[in-house]
Structure 1
Amino acid sequence: MVENSFDKIANIDEALSQINDGATIMFGGFGGIGSPPTIIEGMINKNVQNLTLIGNDTGFPNIGIGKLVSRGHASKLIVSHIGSNPVAGQLMTEGKLQIEFSPQGTLAERIRAGGVGLGGVLIDVGIDNDIVSNGKEKIVVDGKEYLLELPLTADVSIVYAKKSDPFGNLIFDKSARNMNPLVAMAGKYTIAEVEEIVPLSELDPEQIITPGIYVDMIVQSKGVNWKWVWE
């Protein structure tokens, strides 16, 4: 367990000790880009079960978070789509996987709301659709009706970054940034897998996207094992 708040570097076993059966896990990534491969592979090896996964999508069957989904480690997903992972669709059709869909922008706002402590966000997307609006509170503001979308948080957030210092200040690599900054804020405990860990004060403050105050633990990435991906 990390004890020094200015040195949050840990090994993968310490990171996995925070992730147990039945946990709600929020993950960064967009089609697998920006998802933490070492942590995901570790979760599979640990054989954690009955997970609720929250993130943009289900990756591909053997890429990103899709590796967990395809192997049956999740019981529920909250995502914007599953189209790139046919295994997720099959599991949903067979009743083995519960899926809550949320439009991508709405999903991002719900995660942001959870991260900054808002009680929810007001959205007009789907207000005239019975399937979308079913069970959601409607609120009128200045004569216009909105759906109240509730915030999303997680027991553990897992994110992937290009570079970090020991405090957990994070820099992301171009489009791999995607949902990661929002996800980092919304976890009760946030683990960042990073490609490169540099000494304190080495990062350019103007390039830091996620301040270390949101990060509880840092693990060194082993990168993507492409042989394992295609097995």
Structure 2
Amino acid sequence: MIDKSVASVEAAVADIHDGATVMIGGFGTAGMPDELIDALIAQGARELTIINNNAGNGDTGLAALIKHKRVRRIVCSFPRQADSQHFDAAYRAGEIELELVPQGNLAARIHAAGSGLGAVFTPTGYGTELAQGKETREIDGRHYVLEYPLHADFALIKADRGDRWGNLVYRRTARNFGPLMAMAARCTIVQVREVVPLGELDPEAVVTPGIFVQRVVPVAAEGVQA
């Protein structure tokens, strides 16, 4: 019997190792798997490479992971915001490396990993510092930059509901990077508001099929889920 449900967030992240590459879903705080991140902080893994849309907000979630000095390198699109003080301090102190990736390229590179593509040509970044040292090509009169896939050892994402096979549905914009990251990681760990019986999810509403998910852990929602 296939059962990917896990009893606790602690058990779900127990084998994330030092130096792992971890994708973390979320667009800002929307869809951020805060409880999984808190469990990862408590677990103690260090020297992590994080792939995320931004570099954390305030003092919780990814920002807390950076605050606790667990992140060696981050690949993201929006590293600096009004409340990204922990990344800013770590970067200025030389404690964290940054790879800046335009948001469309970030999504395309994650998608390439999940789709088994060797690389993608994108016009975004051509003629800028972001293209320095990279292969470029002119195709049908337009210039492109070669970008390589972004793979991960683990993906931590948040969905609304899931079943024990790992099929997932999301809540509104909390969906964001979750489906792409689930495809691009060797082990996808999902926190959900509810694990439902098989057959309760409408197949037409399932966004992430269970084949891309290895662990599902229920986390009680407080108020309305972001």
With the length of structure 1 as denominator, give the TM-score of the two structures: 0.90
How many corresponding residue pairs?
220
Equivalent residue in structure 1 for 2:78, among 77, 81, 85? 81
Equivalent residue in structure 2 for 1:59, among 41, 44, 56? 56
Please give the per-residue CA displacement for 1:63-107, whole angstroms capped at 9, x wherever unaligned: 332211122110000000122312101211211110101011110
Q: Distance in 2 between matches of 1:223 and 1:38?
A: 10
1:1-231 superposed matches below 5 A: 4=1, 6-11=2-7, 12-84=9-81, 85-129=84-128, 131-223=129-221
| Matched AA of 2:4 | K
| Matched AA of 1:91 | A
User: Do the aligned residues in 2 keep the contact of 1:26 with 1:154 (CA within 8 Å)?
Assistant: yes
User: Do the aligned residues in 2 keep the contact of 1:167 with 1:212 (CA within 8 Å)?
Assistant: yes
Q: Distance in 2 between matches of 1:27 and 1:13?
A: 16
| Matched AA of 2:212 | Y
User: Do the aligned residues in 1 keep the contact of 2:38 with 2:61 (CA within 8 Å)?
Assistant: no
User: Do the aligned residues in 2 keep the contact of 1:29 with 1:64 (CA within 8 Å)?
Assistant: no
Q: Which deviates more from structure 2 when the two are superposed, residues 141-150 or residues 46-55? A: 141-150
User: Do the aligned residues in 1 keep the contact of 2:74 with 2:99 (CA within 8 Å)?
Assistant: yes
User: Do the aligned residues in 2 keep the contact of 1:166 with 1:198 (CA within 8 Å)?
Assistant: yes
Q: Distance in 1 between matches of 2:138 and 2:65?
A: 40
Please give the per-residue CA displacement for 1:191-212, whole angstroms capped at 9, x wherever unaligned: 1111100000011111111111
For structure 2, list consecutive stretches of 5 or more residues without a partner in the other structure. Answer: none
Q: Distance in 2 between matches of 1:139 and 1:109?
A: 17
After TM superposition, the runs of 4+ consecutive aligned structure 1 residues lying more than 3 A away are none
Secondary structure at 2:74's aligned position in 1? strand
Q: Distance in 2 between matches of 1:223 and 1:98?
A: 34
Q: Distance in 2 between matches of 1:21 and 1:70?
A: 17
For structure 1, list consecutive stretches of 5 or more residues without a partner in the other structure. Answer: 225-231
Q: 1:142 to 1:37 in 2, by over 3 A?
A: same
With the length of structure 2 as denominator, give the TM-score of the two structures: 0.92
Q: Distance in 2 between matches of 1:37 and 1:139?
A: 41
Secondary structure at 2:57's aligned position in 1? coil
Partner of 1:227: none
Identical amino acids, percent of aligned pairs: 38
